Structure 1
Amino acid sequence: MDLIGAEESAAGLLMAAEPAGAAVGALLLTRLVSPETRSRLLGPLTVLTGVPLGAMAFAPPVAVSPVLLLASGLFAAYQTVANALFVRTVPDELRGQAVGIVASGLFAAQGLGISASGLFAEIAGPAAAIATFAVIGVLAAIPAGIAWRQAARPSRTREKGGVIMTRGKPIEWH
C-alpha cells in the first residue's frame, strides 16, 4: 500500500467502499425509484459509474479515495436494472443458457480487465491506472447509454400506466 501513501489497514476500506456503494445504491434504486424511472436511469448511471474514478488521476488523499469508490459503487447500481431487463427479455426456454453465457463472458472480461489494469498500474501507478480505465469505461458507456435510450423510447416500449414491455411481456419489478 506504500504506493498510495496508506497503511495496510486502509486496504480493507478501499476494497470495501465500492461494493458497499453498489449494495446501498441497489437498495435505494429498487426501493425508492419507480420502475419507469429506473429504466430511464440505466444509461446515465452506466456512464456515471466511471466518473468518480476519473478523479483518481489527481491522486487524491487516502481519506478521499473511499468516497470516490463509494460514489462509483452507488452509480453501479445500474447493474441491478440491466440484469433484470436482460433476464426478462430472454425467452423462458433460453434463460438459463443465456445467463450462463453472459456470466462466463463477464468473468472473462473482468479477468482480462483486472490483468490489463494491473499491468498498466505497474508502469504508470495505481492512480493513473484507475483513472485511465475509468475514462475507457465512460467512453464505452456513452454509446451504450445512447443506444439504450433510443431502444427504450416511450413510444416503442411502454403501454398505458408506464409499464415497460419487452417481447410483448411486461417487465415486472418486485
Structure 2
Amino acid sequence: MGTAPHGIITDQCRSMFGAIRKVIPNTRHRWCIWHITKKIPYKLGGYDRFNELNAKLKHIIWNSQSVEGFEDGWAEFIEEFDLHHNKWLSDLFDDRRMWMPIFFKGQFWASMRSTQKSESMHSFFGGYLHCKTSLVQFVHEYDNVLENKEQKELENDAADSKGLIPCATSSAIER
C-alpha cells in the first residue's frame, strides 16, 4: 500500500497527464499507441496518397531502431508528403517521448504498449454489465458471457471442420 506504479499507460488526456505528474511524479507515464494509430485515418485520410503515407508512417513507428533513425525517418516522411503544416503530426512529434516505442527501449513494460487490453474487456462485457451491476449479477453475467463465447467458438469450429483449409506451402508438416 502506498507504492506508486513504475509505469502507467493512458490515452492523450492532458488532464490525466497533469494529474499523474502531480500525484505520482516518479511514475513513467506513456500514451497508448493503439489510440494514436487508430486516429491516423481520421487525421490524415484526406491526403492524396493516404495509403502510401499511412504505410510509411507505420513503418517509421514500428521499425525505428534508434532515436536518431526515428527522427531522421520522421523528417523525411514530413518532407516527402509535404506535411509541414499538419498540427496533429507536429504535436505528435513534440510529444514523441510519450508514445514512440523507441523511447521505451530497455524499459520493462511486460509487453504492454497500449490500453487495448482494457478496451477489449469493455467490448467483451459490453451489453452485459453497467455501473450499478452487483457482485452477484456480475458473476451471473460473467457466466453468460463465457457461455455465449464458448457457443460462438463451437459454431466456428463446426463451420471450419466442414471446409477444407488449403495449405499455404507444400510442407508435409503443414498438410
- Structure whose residues are more often helix by fraction: 1
- TM > 0.5: no
Larger Rg: 2
Higher normalized contact order (CA 8 Å, seq sep 6+, divided by chain length): 1
What TM-score do you get using the length of structure 2 for normalisation?
Answer: 0.26
- Give the TM-score normalised by structure 1: 0.26
